[in-house]
Structure 1
Amino acid sequence: MRAVRSNFVEQQQVIVEILRRLIGRRLVAVTEARHWYEGRRGGDAESLLHFWWHFEGIPPVMAHGCGEHLSLDFAEPYLSYDMAEQGETRVGSARLPDVLAAYAGQRLLDAAPIQGCTPEPSVGGVQLRFERDDLVVASVGDEWLLVRGSIPEEFGAHLTAGGWLVSQRDE
């Protein structure tokens, strides 16, 4: 269990370090990778595979969800690709009414890691406080949870928000 706990601490430290670099910066754009089949895509979270936040002054931050775990890393978006009979992955700018597109142009004021509910401790997501609204991004059951505001009540047993990073600096 000690190795698992150590791995969780390392994962959380990486995410917290990245979030700290984002705080105070303006989100310039969001790039999304989405699954399309026969010229159509599913709903917002349903078709989303990966996404990249483009904050001013730093490389893009790629978000990747796997099971109940969220990872963040500095990485450039990949190119669109064809998957033959399974459809295609299209990579491009986030567009309204998709949730992530609504935050472009806003400054990130604060952030909090979210712990997922797994047998092993895991960073399951993040809650981001922008100028006009909060955003919850989490990986739940290998699906994206993208919600304006706070963690929805029905996910309260599965996701626990940690402390706000800016508030922790002031304590």
Structure 2
Amino acid sequence: MTDDEQLFAGNLVSKRLLRVTTSWHVSGEAEPSLLHLWLHLEGLGPVHFHTPGTGLSLRTGRPPGPYSMERYGDVVVVDDPPDVPVTRFLGEPIRSAREIRYRDAHGDFPAGLTLRFATGSVRLLALDDDLLLAHDQHLGPVEAHLHEDTVLARVVQTCGECPSQWDAWTTSGQYLYLRYRHGEGSVEQHPSEDCDTWDGEESSLWTQWDDGTDGGHIELADFLAAAGLRLAPDAQVSPG
């Protein structure tokens, strides 16, 4: 990886979180506002999260030197801040990194990511040019416009064990390949169930974890719980 290289959500999956660096804008008596976030990930180095305008940007690169005070005012840089939600996951690998979209009558754009770890999750959001970290709190009216494609409308099992695997489609029509073998679970996004379509830019890794059991069989309900997916109330589930 080189500095300032663009990254995508799939690049983060399975990487262990080693350190968190934040920079805050401090002005008078106002609450400090988060300017930038760096997640130091095993095998990737520092990953810079910020909002250059609309949406969330992910790029490689270490925290820079002093900021321009004329542009930002007073800036404080803090390593592993205890009150930032993502810091509680230090030492854990990222189990999944999934896009959050903002949708309203005026448009539809990628607004952030949900990062899932074994012990919980955190949302990284870029809204109105502000970088927000949300753990389990409700963000008010904006929640109605935030959408994550994690609900399955149809699931077809293609193998029972060694591996346990399924073809699945979300309620938005996205195809997912679900697989569990040797205790390792994964969710991959592809254009379709046709393997010949799996080598392009539309394919990416959504989720990966290792439960340490070396098992080859898992029930669908247990797989979905581990992967952070769920069935729609009227989902079609077929044994294949």
Same fold (TM over 0.5): yes
Q: Which amino acid aligns with 2:118?
A: E
Distance in 2 separating the partners of 1:159 and 1:68: 14
Distance in 2 separating the partners of 1:41 and 1:62: 25
Please give the secondary structure, in 2, of the residue aligned with 1:96: coil
Please give the secondary structure, in 2, of the residue aligned with 1:156: helix
Please, what TM-score do these two structures have when normalized by structure 2?
0.54
Deviation at 1:25, TM superposition (A): 1.4
Deviation at 1:152, TM superposition (A): 5.0
Structure 1 alignment gaps of length 5 or more = 1-13
Distance 1:80 1:150, change over 3 A: same
**Corresponding position of 2:76:** 90
Measured against aligned partners, the alpha-carbon deviations of 1:62-117 in whole angstroms (never above 9, x if no partner) come to: 11124541111112211233626963112231311222322222211111101123
Distance in 1 separating the partners of 2:76 and 2:95: 31
Measured against aligned partners, the alpha-carbon deviations of 1:128-165 in whole angstroms (never above 9, x if no partner) come to: 11121111111122223321248756433221113498
**Corresponding position of 1:148:** 135
Are the equivalent residues in 2 in contact too, given 1:79–1:91 (CA < 8 A)?
no
Distance in 1 separating the partners of 2:31 and 2:137: 24
More displaced, 52-61 or 93-102?
Answer: 93-102
- The share of aligned pairs that are identical, in percent, is 27
Please give the secondary structure, in 1, of the residue aligned with 2:98: strand
Aligned pairs, how many? 152
| Structure richer in strand, relative to its length | 2
Distance 1:121 1:98, change over 3 A: same
**Corresponding position of 2:160:** none
Distance 1:149 1:77, change over 3 A: same
Please give the secondary structure, in 2, of the residue aligned with 1:155: helix
Distance 1:150 1:128, change over 3 A: farther
**Corresponding position of 1:37:** 27
Are the equivalent residues in 2 in contact too, given 1:30–1:54 (CA < 8 A)?
yes
Alignment RMSD: 3.1
Distance 1:112 1:151, change over 3 A: farther
Distance 1:54 1:94, change over 3 A: same
**Corresponding position of 1:9:** none
Distance in 2 separating the partners of 1:143 and 1:159: 15
Distance in 1 separating the partners of 2:97 and 2:112: 11
**Rg bigger for which structure?**
2
Are the equivalent residues in 2 in contact too, given 1:151–1:159 (CA < 8 A)?
no
Distance 1:155 1:111, change over 3 A: same
Q: Which amino acid aligns with 2:88?
A: A
**Corresponding position of 1:129:** 116
Are the equivalent residues in 2 in contact too, given 1:35–1:48 (CA < 8 A)?
yes
2:14 paired residue among 24, 27, 30? 24
Please, what TM-score do these two structures have when normalized by structure 1?
0.72
1:53 paired residue among 39, 45, 62? 39
